[in-house]
Amino acid sequence: MTSLTEPVHMKHPTMTRAMVALFAFCCGAIVANIYYAQPIIELIAPDIGLSAHGASLIVSLTQIGYAAGIFFLVPLADLLENRKLMLATTLLATLSLIGAALSQQPSVFLVVSLLIGFSSVSVQMLIPLAAHMADESSRGRVVGSIMGGLLVGILLARPLSSVIADHFGWRAVFYVAAVVMVAITLVMARTIPHRQPDHSASYGQLLASLGTLVRRHRLLRQRSLYQGMMFATFSLFWTAVPLELSRVHGLSQSQIAIFALVGAIGAIAAPIAGRLADAGHTRRASLVAMVLAPLSFTTALLVPGHAVVALALTGVLLDFAVQMNMVLGQRIIYSLDASSRARLNALYVTSIFVGGAVGSAIASSLYEAGGWALIVKVGCAIPLVGLVAFLWNSRLKAAK
């Protein structure tokens, strides 16, 4: 039997600038599926009969589905031909988005939300594929650029969703997303190179190897914890802030879209982080990111009397911190074992979206219980856990 550590065959071993741009575009368009519902849950929930407390389940179940898809589907990229696997997932995403647009019952919509997340995982196959194709000297830059596209997709999904819902209703959001997925599927079918791994292990052995990778790589465990905490507060903020903006400040869906668009400025962190990692500044850049995340919630002190401006500034700074730390972590785990990049990425991103699902799930309840003040307290506390762990691990490493 062929081992899980043999090389792969790929027709196009070079990562050109055009290919980087293509991968970035595809990643952004696909990952947006997970975030379209986030700013419009107050429109969706009453229409399908979901309570205000249960509204954030729409977001958290999509993220749980994404985490499950990463854990169970992405490792197959180390076993099956990558392009066919990615095309199959985008086709399922298309059908799931259509199902969301047609849903009339809360239970049906929540199940479909889970499937949307589960089927939007081809982005986490594209990124390891790009890492395989890139030279070692430029891997951080390539991954950072593609992550920039992915993160722009995350950030632009919210304003696009708000604008479409404001003018055409929330169901139109999912119809438009389905059309985009059809286009992406056609683009990927024509342009993404073949990659056939040489592994001949069974699917069960492949999943069993995930536990081995977790035990073997201390850095994987550490970076997963750090980014899981960061993404939990990211999801907490972006699930709760539309409630604050609409209820307290009276913003319309289109105005919330402009607010979310401002947050997209934080996407510049991804390519910056990639270059810092290539230059050997991973530890210092990580420290900056993990300090910035809790500090971002204190912006009301900088612009007193301008609450919406303060919230926007929090969004920009938090997005910058979260995205920088994510790329730095990916650069580290991709260097651990070249033959296991898809599985390493699956473990890393699964932990991130488990954190994100927790942050989204508690957002509505926290907001209903204590308003924005409670969101700020919890939003500061969560990334501080990651920061303390980072400082502790750095101290242990220095003591050796």
Amino acid at 386: G
**Residue range 147-198, pLDDT digits in tens:** 778 877 877 888 899 899 989 999 999 999 999 999 999 998 988 888 777 6
What is residue 102's predicted lDDT score, i.e. its pLDDT?
Answer: 96
Return the pLDDT at 399: 65
**CA dist., res. 272 & res. 141, Å (int):** 8
pTM: 0.77
**Which CATH architecture best describes the domain 21-399?**
Up-down Bundle (1.20)
Please tell me the predicted confidence (pLDDT) of residue 269. 67
Which pLDDT does position 20 carry in this prediction? 86
* Residue 137 structure tokens: 């000297």
| pLDDT at site 175 | 97
Which segments of the chain have a pLDDT < 50?
A: 1-12
Task: Look at residue 104 and give its three-state secondary structure.
Answer: coil
Enter the tokens of residue 94.
């298309």
Kindly report the number of other CB atoms within 10 A of residue 201's CB atom. Answer: 17
How far apart CA 295 and CA 318 sit, in angstroms, is: 9
In the chain, the N- to C-terminal Cα span, in Å, equals: 40
Q: Residue 30 corresponds to which tokens in the numbers above?
A: 């696909």
**Neighbour count for residue 68 (Cβ, 10 Å):** 17
Provide the CB-side half-sphere exposure for 244 (13 A, CA): 24
pLDDT at residue 400 in the model: 62
Closest CA to 321 of 384, 391, 245, 258: 384
How far is residue 123 CA from its own chain's centroid? 9
